[in-house]
Amino acid sequence: MKHPTLPSLFTGAARAVPCLAFAVAAQALAAQTVVLVQDTFTLNGTTRIEGSSLAGTSPEQQTGSGVWKTGTGSASGRFSAEGTIIGYQSGSTIYPVEMRIAITQPTAVTTVSASIVSSTSDWVAVGFLSSDTSSSQAWFGSSDSILWVMIRPSGGWTLFKNGTTTTLASGTVSGFSATASYTLGISYDPATQMARAFLSDGTTETSLFSTNDGWFATGLDVDTSITATGFRIHPRNDGASVVGASSVDNFLVTTAAIPEPRSAALILGGLTLLGLAAGRLARR
């Protein structure tokens, strides 16, 4: 058997260095997911107990210091015994539940999602908002809800821009169950002003918009102010909604954090020098 000599081993290792280095660099330069807000609405026995209000409490995890706020003309969501957020009823009146939480202005692809059960509601929605405080028009205001998606118990969904002034897309989810839990979400890319709405049953995630990998042009201005996200449980007008049947859980806002240009340049510069040195060793 012919054994490799020490120089050949060294040469092989030298040739492998650039490949390994660039693999490490690709991992380092890849966009990392950063959690901006996360709330599973788990009961804690003190500030979060069955029947208590979500408004005024802080999410379980966040990069900022925001608290949940209630939209004008709506009620605060209440904690259920199961640790979800449900509607509110006073006497015979069932109030819409609209909750908001502040985020920093998106500079990379940002996604808001939540586990929803639509059940007897009119619809349930998540979206991006201009502020964590609302105008008199609340969720429907043309300058309030910047980009949002809602779904009905029938599986019918609509993607809106600027309140309800512009319908960007709509459709119906085949096989949708009003009593099942789904993850409803929307992603927004501020660099391209494109968005993607999606629905997941826990196994399969489906883009609600069927072309261009689910991404579509929103027509929003590049300088559109988005400083909050939130959700809404909207009751039916005929009084047929049942408080507690519809719910929101596992609220999540994430963004893609990309290395700063200076950091990326340093990494790539170091790799270039390493690759050149390894190449010279391999040619000896």
The domain locations on the chain are: 6-27+262-283, 32-257
pLDDT at position 27 over 80? no
Segment 10-35 mean pLDDT: 54
Supply the pLDDT for residue 171: 96
Q: How buried is 30 (Cβ within 10 angstroms: 0-12 exposed, 13-18 middle, 19+ buried)?
A: exposed
Segment 25-36 mean pLDDT: 67
Supply the pLDDT for residue 68: 97
Supply the pLDDT for residue 147: 97
Cα 268–chain centre separation: 31
Supply the pLDDT for residue 28: 43
pLDDT category at 3 given cuts 50, 70, 90 is low
**137-152 pLDDT per residue, tens:** 678 888 889 999 999 9
Supply the pLDDT for residue 24: 43
pLDDT category at 85 given cuts 50, 70, 90 is very high
pLDDT category at 264 given cuts 50, 70, 90 is very low
pLDDT at position 241 over 70? yes
Segment 187-199 mean pLDDT: 97
| Spatial CB neighbours of 11, under 8 Å, sequence gap ≥ 6 | 281, 282, 284
Tokens of 193: 């002003």
Residue 171, H or E segment: strand 166-172
Q: Identify the CATH assignment for 32-257 out of 2.60.120.200, 3.30.460.20, 1.10.1740.10, 3.40.50.720.
A: 2.60.120.200
pLDDT at position 193 over 90? yes
For the chain, the maximum distance between any two Cα atoms, rounded to a whole number of angstroms, is 90
Supply the pLDDT for residue 279: 53
pLDDT at position 283 over 70? no
Residue 147, H or E segment: strand 145-151
